[in-house]
Amino acid sequence: MKKYISELIGTMVLVLFGCGSAAIAGSVLGNLGIAMAFGLSIVAMAYVIGDISGCHVNPAVSIGMWIDGRLETKDLIMYIVFQCIGAIIGIALLALIINSAPSLGGYAATGLGQNGFGSASSVGLGVTGAIIVEITLTFVFVFTVLGVTKKAENGAVAGIVIGLTLAFVHILGIPLTGTSVNPARSLAPALFLGGQALQQVWVFILAPIVGAVIAGLLFKGLNTEDA
């Protein structure tokens, strides 16, 4: 349970501060500031819960680890369940905070850092483009996580590398889809907002999973010794 609770807390922090930065201060921070909020959340949590659960805080990362043989099936299921719970708690806290500030107009008005395509994309990216973007960005992120965590000697820098990678995929992805690369992070705001966000969330669940599977299989293939 310690691993699962750690994943819950880590995902809650990621969603609260990442989505919170986008929802509350996005116009001030800009895309770079929002990207750094997501990245720094990972850096912070990596050095707190990394030794307990590995600090996946993302079902896509857990799937990649499972494919590479570093996570048992039971743990994969429980990680995903607790990551989703953590994300929902993070969004619930964010909604409560926003609703306590009348000038923000209620949590629905802020968008809660939701992901989207078409009219919900800053550049009007279509559904096909959104799928391609999310598969690609998730592949890069998960592939990096698998690589930097493969050797124990990378432990001192792994959190920084992972956090910076999450930040740079957000820099590209925010104007396109809002950047998911994390099904739990996308599901939580969609559940609270409903409507278009909930109708479109399937892309931000399916595409990151596909990207994670590709990353996991390719990484495992590249690191398998020839007979």
The domains found in the chain, sorted by start residue, are: 2-222 (1.20.1080.10)
Query: 18: Cβ–Cβ under 8 A, 6 or more apart, which residues?
Result: 34, 37, 38, 41, 113, 185
Comparing 1 with 82, the larger pLDDT belongs to: 82
**pLDDT at residue 20, rounded to an integer:** 95
Dump pLDDT digits (tens) for 114-125: 999 999 999 999
Query: What pLDDT, on the 0 to 100 scale, is given for residue 152?
Result: 85
CA 166 to CA 35: how far, in whole Å? 8
DSSP conformation class of 114: -
pLDDT of residue 26 exceeding 50: yes
Distance between CA atoms of residues 23 and 107, nearest Å: 8
Q: What is the rounded average pLDDT of the residues 132-156? A: 94
Q: How far apart are CA 111 and CA 23, in angstroms?
A: 6
Residue 52, token pair as written in the block: 């307990």
Of 16, 4, 28, 21, which Cα lies nearest the Cα of 80? Answer: 4
The structure's pTM equals 0.94
Statement: residue 153 has pLDDT above 90: no
The number of beta carbons lying within 10 Å of the beta carbon of residue 96 is: 10
pLDDT at position 64, please?
97
Report, as an integer, the average pLDDT of 120-132.
Answer: 96
Give yes or no for residue 226 having a pLDDT over 60: no
pLDDT on residue 227 = 42
Q: What is the mean pLDDT of residues 136-164?
A: 94
* 16: helix, strand or coil: helix
CA distance 145 to 138: 10
Question: Residue 156's pLDDT is what?
Answer: 87
pLDDT at 49 over 50: yes
Q: Is the pLDDT of residue 5 over 80?
A: yes
Q: Under a CB-based contact definition with an 8 Å cutoff, are residues 213 and 67 in contact?
A: yes
Dihedral of CA atoms 150, 156, 162, 163 in degrees, nearest 10, equals 170
- Asked whether the predicted pLDDT for residue 224 surpasses 70, the reply is yes
Q: What digits encode the pLDDT tens for the residues 70-108? A: 999 999 999 999 999 999 999 999 999 999 999 999 999
Q: Which pLDDT band, with edges at 50, 70 and 90, does 161 fall under?
A: very high
Please report, for residues 91, 136, 205, the alpha-carbon distance to residue 186 in angstroms, rounded to integers and kept in the order given. 10, 16, 7
